[in-house]
Amino acid sequence: MDRLEFEYLFASTPGVCLNSLRHALAETAKALSATLRHGGVTLDVNRLDDFGRSWLADLKSELDEEPGSESLAILIQEMFYQ
């Protein structure tokens, strides 16, 4: 089975850009006739919007931050790249 696996730091992308990201992923998977995978999980291309909304809600509830914000970038830098 052909698959397109991607690793992406979603926290770096402002929420308003997620539709463009979703479109790019869906079109790439379609052009390659591939399934889409992230973090070892197969994602249904038609449900990428649900995935994005779920991710945004998790980020907001866990860190009370908006994706793509400068404060979140600083937090990530401090937590993971010391």
CA 48/CA 25 separation, integer angstroms:
9
pLDDT in tens, 17-68: 888 888 898 898 889 888 888 878 888 877 878 877 887 888 888 878 888 8
Evaluate if pTM is beyond 0.75.
no
Range of the domain at 74: 3-80
Number of domains in the chain: 1
Q: How far is the CA of 36 from the CAs of 5, 23, 61, 64, 71, in angstroms?
A: 6, 12, 26, 29, 30
Q: Report the pLDDT value the prediction gives residue 5, as an integer from 0 to 100.
A: 82
Query: CA 19: distance to chain centroid?
Result: 10
